[in-house]
């Protein structure tokens, strides 16, 4: 059994101890890390596993795949977690004892100017987690209709003047293609509130990133599959950074589906539970962790056990 440490420079694992505690790792169990990144969570899961335990991790990002842990119990699957069930079956796995997902963007993706995730750099607007994907932020900004743009900014950024924002983008691109961060900032300048530029732009970038990577659709598909893949008493632990992600996680844990519709017993009409919720309120990072890793400040962890 050969061990390789995770890459802390790539991404600092958020709420690490809480994740391990809520997973309640069984030494010979089978576990899934939906968002491998720098391998921080994965490496600690492996420390709790015995020789017969197994860990499967997903990550579609080629940069993250370079951090693969060299351990006989570990398998990195280089695909989006929306294909969870299919790829586990490739390895003969139909049931697992725990699933962990740390959603959102890794520190590495934010810090790499060429990836176009951060408003700190004047870079080309890319934002693809999977570099082989055809849809980029630049494509969204220059080809989506005004109505499509308004909808995505309203739903993913919760911006009241999403229609005005979309109108400014369509007007600007008619004169010149929007290619870089500075192009986008210039185009939407009339919308940006004074003294809140970074906060506003962060929400705009967030909405674009979520659209480019189809994050909401992928999460819905993944969470739905988690219900089927988890064995009885299996644990589901999800860390979210956006209200939509948190709502979907809460829905799946409380009702067994992403819509949040309570299932009824066909004979007696009583509600049927799929999970026992372990976190009545989401677990959030403490002050010390936020000081060390400011990107953890919006994290919310929810956990549940399959009944």
pLDDT averaged over every residue in the chain: 92
pLDDT, mean of residues 288-297: 92
pLDDT at 9 over 60: no
Q: How far apart are CA 226 and CA 304, in angstroms?
A: 11
Structure tokens at 187: 């185009």
Query: pLDDT tens for residues 102-143?
Result: 997 766 665 566 676 677 788 999 999 998 999 999 999 999
Q: What is the pLDDT of residue 118?
A: 74
Q: Where does residue 196 fall: left (phi above 0), alpha (psi -120 to 50 degrees), or beta otherwise?
A: alpha
pLDDT at residue 268, rounded to an integer: 61
Q: What is the mean pLDDT of residues 41-50?
A: 98
* 307: pLDDT strictly greater than 50: yes
Q: Which CATH class is domain 134-212?
A: mainly alpha
- In the structure, how many helices (H) and strands (E) does the chain have? 13, 9
Residue 286 three-state SS: coil
The CATH topology of domain 16-107+215-306 is: Rossmann fold (3.40.50)
- What does the domain layout of the chain look like in residue ranges? 16-107+215-306, 134-212
**What pTM did the predictor assign?**
0.91
At residue 3, the pLDDT reads 44
* pLDDT value of residue 1: 44
């Amino acid at each position: 059994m050969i061990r390789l440490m995770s890459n802390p420079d790539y991404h600092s694992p958020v709420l690490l101890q809480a994740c391990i505690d809520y997973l309640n790792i069984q030494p010979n169990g089978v576990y899934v890390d939906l968002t491998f990144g720098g391998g921080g969570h994965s490496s600690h899961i492996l420390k709790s596993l015995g020789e017969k335990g197994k860990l499967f991790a997903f990550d579609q990002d080629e940069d993250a795949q370079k951090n693969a842990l060299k351990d006989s119990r570990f398998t990195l699957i280089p695909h989006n977690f929306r294909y969870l069930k299919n790829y586990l079956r490739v390895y003969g796995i139909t049931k697992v004892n725990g699933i962990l997902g740390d959603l959102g963007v890794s520190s590495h993706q934010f810090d790499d100017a060429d990836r176009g995730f951060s408003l700190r750099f004047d870079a080309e607007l890319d934002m693809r987690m999977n570099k082989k994907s055809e849809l980029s932020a630049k494509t969204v900004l220059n080809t989506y209709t005004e109505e499509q743009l308004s909808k995505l900014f309203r739903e993913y950024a919760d911006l009241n003047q999403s229609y005005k924002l979309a109108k400014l983008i369509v007007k600007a691109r008619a004169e010149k293609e929007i290619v870089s961060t500075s192009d986008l900032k210039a185009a939407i300048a009339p919308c940006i509130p004074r003294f809140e530029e970074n906060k506003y732009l962060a929400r705009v970038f967030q909405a674009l990133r979520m659209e480019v990577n189809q994050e909401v659709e992928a999460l819905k598909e993944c969470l739905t599959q988690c219900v089927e893949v988890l064995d009885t008493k299996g644990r589901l632990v999800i860390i979210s950074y956006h209200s939509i992600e948190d709502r979907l996680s809460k829905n799946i844990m409380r009702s067994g589906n992403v819509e949040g519709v309570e299932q009824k017993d066909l004979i007696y009409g009583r509600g049927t539970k799929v999970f026992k919720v372990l976190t009545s309120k989401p677990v959030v990072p403490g002050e010390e962790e936020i000081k060390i890793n400011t990107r953890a400040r919006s994290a919310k962890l929810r956990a549940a056990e399959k009944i």
